[in-house]
Amino acid sequence: MIRVRIMPLLAFLILIASCAEKKSKKLTPADTKVDTPLHIVFVSGDEEYRSEESMPMLARLAKRELNAKVTVCYALDSIGIINPNNTDHISNLEALETADLMVIFTRYRTLPKNERDYIVNYAESGKPIVGFRTATHAFKYKDPSLEYWNDEWPTKVFGQQWITHHGHFDDGKFPVTQIASLKSEHPILRGFNPFKAYSWLYHVDGGSWKLFGDSKPILQGHSLKSKHEMEGRLDEFPLTNPVAWTKSYTGSSGKKAKVFFTTLGHPYDFKLPVVRRIALNGIFWALGKEDQIPLDGTNVSLDQPFEPNNSGFGTIYKPNLRPETIQ
């Protein structure tokens, strides 16, 4: 009888001691660790397609849907005003040193080495990249010693260089390219429906040209009006061409980066939910989060109006804009 009474008491005392030990144990940094948000850096800087308007819009969506930290880099003048015509400076590129993803939409930039190195070093790191339209000709240097960056570098990283397109034809007044799916099962195309784009079709594949490396087209475009057709050159530049593809790029780090690229990018394209969805789905995919893309695609509803200026050169961009801080 004595033994029966002692055993429950002993078990009770052991339980008390165990709880006291757990209560007194100090928390370690691992115990209190908070997940660090992903850092996505959007590099704008083109004088034709209003990337200074489309990239911050996409950054807001990425921040909301991925709970990400976002940085947008702009072409600025000497007093900090956005000026897409200033080709030799893009702000905040040092943010790429801590980026988990670079989204780039630049055209014919003549960046000094210290700024170009931020972009190049990121690409060489093996981290993912998303690119738009004129990033096939992200840089334009006249110095023969720098010509590598004009054509060879974008071909290796993005899959192609600048070649030609099928023509502007009353820019922005009506769509000029029919867009269709090539890989309907691909997660980037969740929520996709065929549409007509305002982006005139870039030639990237066919004739004397081939997409580079392991590029796998997922969208194709068919030009609805073509200067090459008018000139009888469709054997060189067919009416149908890829407009979006995935690929990999292995840089000096030896790590293989996931790359999503699309030649879409006209500012009016981004007014279409389907184009915003392709872009945001592509960001999810590049980050390895394709399993988080809903079957009907990511949420690309806008929290504020997006009314970009039309594409074009000169002073068509909105004047006196300062960089936007996205909180």
**139: CB partners within 8 A, 6+ apart:** 106, 108, 109, 110, 111, 116, 146, 149, 150, 153, 154
**204: CB partners within 8 A, 6+ apart:** 136, 159, 160, 163, 211, 241, 242, 263
- Which pairing describes strands 256-262 and 129-132: parallel, antiparallel, or unpaired? parallel
Instruction: List beta partners, residue 248.
Output: 258
Note the pTM of the prediction, 2 decimals.
0.89
Q: Which two structure tokens, joined as six digits, stand for 120?
A: 């190049």
- pLDDT at site 3: 44
Fold type of domain 39-162+243-292? Rossmann fold (3.40.50)
Q: Which two structure tokens, joined as six digits, stand for 159?
A: 């899959």
First and final CA of the chain: distance in angstroms? 70
Taking the C-alpha atoms of residue 187 and residue 282, their distance in angstroms, rounded to an integer, is 8
Question: What is the residue extent of each domain of the chain?
Answer: 39-162+243-292
Residue 215 half-sphere exposure, CB side, CA atoms within 13 Å? Answer: 22
**Amino acid in position 70:** V
**Amino acid in position 83:** N
Residue linked to tokens 């090539």: 182
Q: List the pLDDT tens digit at each of the 327 positions of the chain.
A: 444 444 444 444 444 444 444 444 444 444 444 578 999 999 999 999 999 999 999 999 999 999 999 999 999 999 999 999 999 999 999 999 999 999 999 999 999 999 999 999 999 999 999 999 999 999 999 999 999 999 999 999 999 999 999 999 999 999 999 999 999 999 999 999 999 999 999 999 999 999 999 999 999 999 999 999 999 999 999 999 999 999 999 999 999 999 999 999 999 999 999 999 999 999 999 999 999 999 999 999 999 999 999 999 999 999 999 998 887
Check: CB of residue 281 under 8 Å from CB of residue 189.
yes
Taking CA atoms, 227 is separated from 104, 108, 162, 203, in Å, by 28, 23, 17, 12
At 9, is the secondary structure helix, strand, or coil?
helix
Dihedral (Cα; 262, 268, 269, 274), 10-degree rounding? 150
Taking CA atoms, 158 is separated from 64, 109, 133, 151, in Å, by 27, 16, 10, 11
- Which pairing describes strands 240-250 and 216-223: parallel, antiparallel, or unpaired? antiparallel
Neighbours of 127 (CB within 10 A): 19
- pLDDT at site 35: 75
Taking the C-alpha atoms of residue 106 and residue 113, their distance in angstroms, rounded to an integer, is 16
* Host H or E run for residue 246: strand 240-250
- pLDDT at site 150: 98
- What's the chain's length in residues? 327
Check: CB of residue 205 under 8 Å from CB of residue 211.
yes
Check: CB of residue 107 under 8 Å from CB of residue 82.
no
Residue 246 half-sphere exposure, CB side, CA atoms within 13 Å? Answer: 21
* Host H or E run for residue 219: strand 216-223
**Amino acid in position 256:** K
